[in-house]
Amino acid sequence: ISISVFPPSNACIGRYILNMQITSCGHTYQRCLGDFYVLFNPWCADDPVYMDNQAHREEYVLNEHGILYEGVHKHITSRPWHFGQFEDGILDICLKILDMGASYHHGSDRDHCWRNDPVHVSMVVNHMISSHTTNSIMKIPENNDYLKGTKPFSWNGSVPILQQWYNGRCRPVRYGYCGSLASVMCTVMRCLGIPSRVVTNFCFPCSTENPLGVNEIFDCTGKNLCGKDKLWRYHCWNESWMARRDLNQCCGDWQCLDPTPLETGRGSACSGPTWVRSIREGELDLDYDGHHMFSRVNSNYVGWLSQNNAKKTKFFCDAWPCGQHLITKSVGSEQFEDITGAYKYELGSVKNKEAYYRAYRRIHPGYCNASNCHIDRELSSLKNPFLSDSGINMRLKMANCPMYGEDVQLHWLLENLRNENKNLKFNLCAQIITYSGCPMDQFWKDSVNITLGPREVKKIPLCISYSQYGPYLCDHNIMKVVAVSDPECGEALMVSRDIVINRPPVIVKLLSQPRLKVPCTAEISFCNPLQEDMKNCVMTLEGCGLFKEPMTIDLGTLAANQQARTIVEFTPYRLGSHRLLANFGCHKF
């Protein structure tokens, strides 16, 4: 007997058991023919997740390899990630996630009726990633303390995270960060048949008081003080493709889902799904968490000088607008695609202003009937004055692209815009900044007196040696260099630069041609770039279709400038395009 099953496009996703009942000669027999899975189908035109572009389906559903973008907006770094949605057992884990999270949105899961709606499914998955009180998939370390778990940046893929959660009785895996949370969600959504991708937003504001403003406070030495607001250097979230029946959408479009719990003023929570187009248009009442998502790409940055008498003064500075660079992996390419235009119109354009006015009136009900001019005046009063308003232009320009162990070289450019002399005293400092905007140790300070003649331009070289920043960098590879003027000499001026310290590369070289179920060898090499020993060196290898589970190699101690080479053998167990990932860790990072 040949049996074909054609589930309708509105069938609930999940695992089904197929039984056959046979009646013969007055006797009835039951036989289980097996089980099968029903998933969302982006190839089916009647399915709410239908995507009509084949290249997009291959990228956002079938591709097991992704790229996470990190760093700062002027120095974007990338690292590969294994989604692994087709690895053995992952589908069962994804359905277990729906079982554990069912009570979040519906109280009871007796009828499973919500499982045919990608909106409700995405909300449950979004909540389960890190917001569930006891059974979330992953936790974020509090106060950057992850001694009782795995370093957040040491993960290479989603599969070990999901397996550890499932095998650990659904207890949260310690620890992750926004990139791993968004990537794990992308794996789950692709596994369930929903096209998804990871998006990175640079200059991401996190404010608990003013939804459309983020404040950074500095002392007179230029040190960034820890305040209530945080300016994340980057933040990752997930986008999923679906037609929103609740919004009367007949065609699919990208919906924003942020699984990272963020402080909103009423506690921490994940966000979404939010229609990306509604964010661009400022239609905040249209969707879930629209005001949160709008503020994350449209907030204004304000820098303050805190003086000894607790008085705060606004700096003259040229602030980079929040949310001005949103990127994701390009379709069929290793390069990134700039999708900022999907979230907001061009800065300063008429449509951009109209969307901002519309959103401002919804976020601040007291301005519901205010004119556009009134809102403009209010916004102008909150912003920093430009450096040019003080008669000075300044910027910090990188003279090199420093690798771990190398000195940081900068050029400090100053220009006097007036026809008179300028005598200024500046305090300079550098400190470590986490990706989430938390200021760490201040490790370098200096002060300098500068005289600028009329219309004079000066270039001052700055150097921060590895011996100065190395002991403080640890797992955080971002530092902030700041120059602030002495307020007693006139206006408070500030210029700053976020600097990424690149980590040394791990080189992977295949020594034989990979073939299915035939042993293959690869050479993994790494060179210690420091003039000191690296202790507790560990290499972690991972690859979908290559390793059933991550392989860890203990390298011990690497002497200064020593190169470590190791040969590994693996047997490809699945056809397809595979990628071998190698991650190096030591007591330094």
Q: Which residues of 89-114 are buried (b: 16+ CB within 10 A; e: fewer)?
A: ebbebbbbbbebbbebebeebeeeeb
Instruction: Indicate the DSSP class of residue 58.
Output: I
486 and 529 assigned to the same domain: no
Question: What distance in Å separates the CA atoms of residue 434 and residue 287, rounded to the nearest whole number?
Answer: 32
Chosen domain end from 358, 381, 404: 381
Chosen domain end from 351, 381, 411: 381
* Burial classification of residue 128, based on how many CB atoms lie within 10 Å of its CB (0-12 exposed, 13-18 middle, 19 or more buried): buried
pLDDT at 110: 53
Active-site position among 47, 229, 258, 289: 258
Q: Is residue 250 part of a domain?
A: yes
292 to each of 265, 272, 289, 298, 448, how far by Cα in Å?
11, 9, 5, 10, 42
The strand pair at 230-242 and 173-174 is best described as unpaired
Structure tokens given for 255:
């919906």
Of all residues in the chain, the percent with pLDDT exceeding 90 is 69
120 and 232 assigned to the same domain: yes
Active site residue 82: no
Q: Is residue 214 part of a domain?
A: yes
264 and 134 assigned to the same domain: yes
Digit-coded pLDDT (tens) for 427-456: 999 999 999 999 998 999 999 999 999 999
Which of 76-80, 107-111, 351-355, 496-500 is the least confident region?
A: 107-111
Of 262 and 112, which is predicted with more confidence? 262
307 and 217 assigned to the same domain: yes
302 and 392 assigned to the same domain: no
Active-site position among 235, 292, 325, 578: 235
Task: Give yes or no for a contact between 500 and 534, defined as CB atoms under 8 angstroms apart.
Answer: no
- Asked whether residue 469 carries a pLDDT value surpassing 90, the answer given is yes
pLDDT at 137: 96
At 285, the pLDDT band (50, 70, 90 cuts) reads confident
At 106, the pLDDT band (50, 70, 90 cuts) reads low
Q: Is residue 46 part of a domain?
A: no
At 56, the pLDDT band (50, 70, 90 cuts) reads very high
Q: Is residue 13 part of a domain?
A: no
Q: Is residue 18 part of a domain?
A: no
Chosen domain end from 381, 396, 411: 381
Q: Is residue 201 part of a domain?
A: yes
- CA-based angle 548:67:244, to the nearest 5? 100
Q: Is residue 8 part of a domain?
A: no
Q: How many domains does the chain have?
A: 3
Question: What distance in Å separates the CA atoms of residue 547 and residue 572, rounded to the nearest whole number?
Answer: 7
Active site residue 325: no
Question: What is this structure's pTM?
Answer: 0.94
226 and 269 assigned to the same domain: yes
Q: Mean pLDDT throughout 560-580?
A: 89
Check the CA dihedral 357-358-363-367 and report its sign: positive
SS (H, E, C) 340-391: HHHHCCCCCCHHHHHHHHHHHHHHCHHHCCCCHHHHHHHHHHHCCCCHHHHC
pLDDT at 92: 97
- Asked whether residue 548 carries a pLDDT value surpassing 90, the answer given is no
Q: Which of 179, 10, 175, 214 is nearest to 78 (CA)?
A: 179
pLDDT at 291: 87
Question: What CATH number is given to the structural domain containing 221?
Answer: 3.90.260.10
Q: Which of 275, 298, 277 is nearest to 287 (CA)?
A: 275
At 576, the pLDDT band (50, 70, 90 cuts) reads confident
At 265, the pLDDT band (50, 70, 90 cuts) reads low
At 490, the pLDDT band (50, 70, 90 cuts) reads confident
Digit-coded pLDDT (tens) for 509-525: 989 888 999 999 999 99
Structure tokens given for 403:
């690798």
Active site residue 206: no
Q: Which of 258, 202, 209 is nearest to 233 (CA)?
A: 202
At 583, the pLDDT band (50, 70, 90 cuts) reads confident
315 and 444 assigned to the same domain: no
191 and 85 assigned to the same domain: yes
Question: What distance in Å separates the CA atoms of residue 585 and residue 473, rounded to the nearest whole number?
Answer: 14
Question: What CATH number is given to the structural domain containing 557?
Answer: 2.60.40.10
3 state DSSP class of 476: coil
3 state DSSP class of 455: coil
Q: Is residue 348 part of a domain?
A: yes
Both ends of the chain: CA-CA distance in Å?
60
Active-site position among 94, 170, 178, 236: 178
126 and 222 assigned to the same domain: yes
The residue segments making up the domain with residue 552 are 506-585
The strand pair at 65-72 and 312-314 is best described as unpaired
Question: What distance in Å separates the CA atoms of residue 313 and residue 303, rounded to the nearest whole number?
Answer: 9
375 and 414 assigned to the same domain: no
Mean of pLDDT over the chain = 91
- Asked whether residue 108 carries a pLDDT value surpassing 60, the answer given is no
Q: Which of 191-205, 375-389, 551-565 has the highest mean pLDDT?
A: 191-205
Question: Token match 């200064």: residue?
Answer: 560
338 and 457 assigned to the same domain: no
316 and 369 assigned to the same domain: yes
Question: What distance in Å separates the CA atoms of residue 165 and residue 197, rounded to the nearest whole number?
Answer: 22
294 to each of 120, 241, 253, 469, how far by Cα in Å?
22, 19, 17, 36
